């Protein structure tokens, strides 16, 4: 009797469990009553209607659920997988979305894993939306592998684009652009590339060019497809306008930038975390344009951005300056609680973005870059073997080795000559530099910066004094502390340094420190006996790596090469 009751309980709870799963996955379409007008539609008819009304949730889910009902009745796993995967885009919450994607994978893998490509890609996008970049990369690599197996250039290109998005998210903009271009070429190889694919890829390329500061190229790709977007693909119109609005901002066309950003905001779907990120970016650039014209409005933009970032718990590196602005504003108004809040936000912002960059860079390097190099090597070896099967491979490899060695010797010689010229040029230009301020230039540039000319002249004069006193050697110097010292704000200081020094604040400080240590090494031979770490500390750098990187960037040569040649020159002079 007890055994019977026990079995009944197990069956009951199992049935309840199945009902919960079924409700989660199929709840959206179980209650659906398929209209008689759709019952006789083919899969192609239903799918085309869904694509036509993709931005209309009610109609698109109606067509998808009808598609799924038809596939379920016919026990067609491939079409069930397709419908479930597409329905996941309309899921109300994270749990339901993941359940639909996994159900899609289950259905497609019953037939052949090659049919799981769209669902694996969607699963990668799901993880990426929630910043699980490692899991996202894992899915994209599955897509690449399966697409190569099935000679599907389009989906291989899509996967490369998605890996490019991961690279963009951690700031590897140049590597991301290479992948976007490669993905585009792969899609074109397919031959029957769709118009929609061209449109989406062009917009992705435009965005990547913008991140690489190639603003004209970004506008070119945007202009190429925007008419088609408006006519046929309105679901990407909001992000297209926002991206080009940001692009126009960097090109200095603020009026057009504001118009495009506001149009993009008016079209955006705030229920999607993907589109919400673009909404926040648009708010950020509208805030930046409002700073000099309407400060109160700018503050309200920044506070709205903070509210959204806090509410949805997302971090967008591009909008970090929000908290710098708020911190300065709170400080100015003696709001110490608000200032502490903004500082804590900045610290959290930086810790999260740094951790993501380190973890994701390592995973991409080990799981994508290295296998790609090995694959390229294998392909090259196969080509060599097929073209030169009558030749001795060892002889070819030996010959290649000799050529590489010869090239190395030539490059080493050329590098030595280049470094020697750089060294000589450094010695010729190591004179103290002074800042000469042209009133005409200040007035001309001030109009572009929307800053009073007198303020610009004041900042430049104070920067000159700052440089002459070697105050840049203070290890605690930050743009906030320097702005406070110069009686200005971080925005004005940053714009003046960017415009008149042609570099960012960090580059400006690093270059001043390198110029200082170059002169010290030249006039003080005792420093030649110091370790590189000790010399780095003399220049106020915290590590050998940061010092060497800044030194190479400024001079084009290494610190050790500079010191070695200084010693040699001094011996010759004696």
Scanning 31-56, the segments in alpha helix (DSSP H) are 36-39, 43-52
DSSP SS3 for 360:
helix
Scanning 268-335, the segments in alpha helix (DSSP H) are 273-290, 295-312, 321-332
**Choice between 19 and 67, residue whose per-residue pLDDT is larger:** 67
**Mean local confidence (pLDDT), 407-433:** 66
Question: What confidence tens digit (pLDDT) does each residue in 149-183 have?
Answer: 888 888 888 888 888 888 887 777 888 888 888 87
**Choice between 102 and 172, residue whose per-residue pLDDT is larger:** 102
CB 140 within 8 Å of CB 162: yes
Question: Is the confidence at residue 193, as pLDDT, over 90?
Answer: no
Q: What is the pLDDT of residue 509?
A: 92
**Mean local confidence (pLDDT), 351-359:** 65
Question: Is the confidence at residue 27, as pLDDT, over 50?
Answer: no
What is the Cα–Cα distance from 515 to 472, expressed in whole angstroms? Answer: 11
Question: Is the confidence at residue 532, as pLDDT, over 80?
Answer: yes
Question: Is the confidence at residue 405, as pLDDT, over 70?
Answer: no
Q: What is the pLDDT of residue 155?
A: 84
Q: What is the pLDDT of residue 329?
A: 85
Distances in Å between the Cα of 438 and the Cα atoms of 224, 441, 442, 444, 468 are 42, 5, 6, 10, 19
What is the Cα–Cα distance from 199 to 202, expressed in whole angstroms? Answer: 5
Fold adopted by 439-573: Arc Repressor Mutant, subunit A (1.10.10)
**Choice between 561 and 382, residue whose per-residue pLDDT is larger:** 561
Q: What is the pLDDT of residue 244?
A: 92
pTM beyond 0.85, yes or no: no
Question: What confidence tens digit (pLDDT) does each residue in 233-251 have?
Answer: 888 899 999 999 999 999 8
Distances in Å between the Cα of 85 and the Cα atoms of 100, 125, 305 are 6, 12, 32
**Choice between 352 and 87, residue whose per-residue pLDDT is larger:** 87
Question: Is the confidence at residue 30, as pLDDT, over 60?
Answer: no
Q: What is the pLDDT of residue 566?
A: 82
Q: What is the pLDDT of residue 572?
A: 62
Q: What is the pLDDT of residue 6?
A: 41
Contacts of 65 (CB under 8 A, 6+ apart): 28, 29, 32, 34, 83, 87
**DSSP letters spanning 401-456:** HHHHHHHHHHHHHHHHHHHHHHHHHHHHT-S---PPPPHHHHHHHHHHHT--HHHH
**Mean local confidence (pLDDT), 27-37:** 56
What is the Cα–Cα distance from 351 to 331, expressed in whole angstroms? Answer: 23
Residue ranges per structural domain of the chain: 276-390, 392-428, 439-573
What is the Cα–Cα distance from 201 to 208, expressed in whole angstroms? Answer: 10
């Amino acid at each position: 009797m007890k055994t019977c009751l026990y079995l009944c309980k197990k069956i009951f709870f199992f049935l309840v469990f199945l009902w919960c799963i079924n409700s989660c996955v199929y709840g959206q379409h179980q209650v659906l009553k398929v209209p008689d007008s759709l019952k006789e539609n083919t899969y192609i008819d239903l799918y085309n209607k869904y694509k036509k009304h993709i931005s209309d949730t009610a109609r698109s889910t109606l067509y998808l659920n009808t598609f799924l009902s038809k596939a379920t009745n016919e026990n067609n796993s491939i079409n069930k997988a397709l419908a479930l995967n597409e329905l996941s885009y309309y899921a109300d919450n994270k749990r339901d979305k993941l359940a639909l994607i996994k159900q899609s994978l289950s259905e497609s893998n019953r037939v052949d894993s090659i049919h799981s490509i769209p669902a694996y890609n969607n699963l990668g996008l799901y993880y990426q939306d929630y910043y699980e970049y490692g899991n996202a990369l894992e899915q994209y690599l599955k897509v690449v592998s399966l697409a190569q197996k099935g000679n599907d250039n389009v989906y291989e290109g899509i996967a490369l684009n998605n890996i490019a998005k991961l690279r963009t998210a951690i700031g590897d903009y140049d590597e991301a652009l290479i992948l976007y271009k490669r993905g585009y070429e792969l899609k074109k190889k397919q031959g029957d590339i769709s118009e929609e694919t061209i449109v989406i890829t062009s917009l992705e390329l435009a965005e990547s060019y913008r991140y690489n500061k190639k603003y004209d190229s970004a506008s070119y790709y945007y202009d190429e497809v925007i008419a088609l977007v408006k006519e046929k693909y309105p679901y990407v119109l909001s992000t297209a306008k926002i991206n080009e609005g940001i692009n126009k901002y960097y090109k200095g066309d603020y009026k057009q930038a504001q118009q495009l950003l506001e149009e993009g905001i008016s079209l955006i779907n705030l229920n999607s975390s993907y589109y919400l990120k673009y909404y926040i970016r648009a708010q950020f650039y509208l805030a930046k344009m409002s700073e000099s014209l309407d400060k109160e409005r700018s503050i309200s933009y920044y506070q709205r951005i903070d509210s959204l970032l806090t509410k949805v718990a997302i971090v967008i590196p591009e909008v970090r300056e929000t908290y710098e602005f708020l911190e300065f504003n709170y400080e100015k108004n003696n709001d110490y609680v608000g200032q502490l809040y903004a500082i804590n936000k900045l610290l959290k912002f930086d810790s999260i973005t740094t951790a993501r960059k380190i973890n994701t860079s390592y995973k991409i390097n080990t799981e994508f870059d290295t296998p790609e190099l090995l694959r390229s090597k294998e392909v090259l070896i196969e080509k060599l073997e097929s073209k030169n099967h009558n030749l001795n491979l060892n002889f070819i490899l030996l010959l290649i080795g000799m050529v590489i060695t010869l090239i190395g010797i030539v490059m080493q010689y050329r590098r030595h000559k280049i470094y020697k010229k750089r060294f000589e040029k450094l010695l010729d230009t190591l004179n103290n530099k002074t800042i000469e301020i042209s009133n005409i230039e200040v007035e001309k540039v001030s109009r572009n910066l929307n800053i009073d000319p007198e303020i610009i002249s004041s900042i430049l004069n104070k920067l000159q004094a700052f440089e002459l006193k070697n105050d840049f050697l203070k290890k605690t110097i930050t743009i906030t502390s320097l702005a406070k010292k110069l009686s200005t704000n971080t925005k004005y200081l940053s714009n003046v340094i960017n415009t008149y020094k042609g570099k960012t604040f960090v580059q400006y400080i690093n270059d001043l420190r390198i110029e200082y240590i170059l002169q010290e090494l030249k006039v003080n031979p005792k420093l030649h006996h110091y370790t590189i770490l000790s010399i780095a500390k003399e220049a106020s750098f915290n590590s050998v790596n940061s010092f060497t990187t800044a030194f190479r960037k400024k001079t084009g040569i290494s610190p050790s090469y500079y010191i070695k040649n200084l010693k040699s020159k001094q011996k010759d002079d004696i």
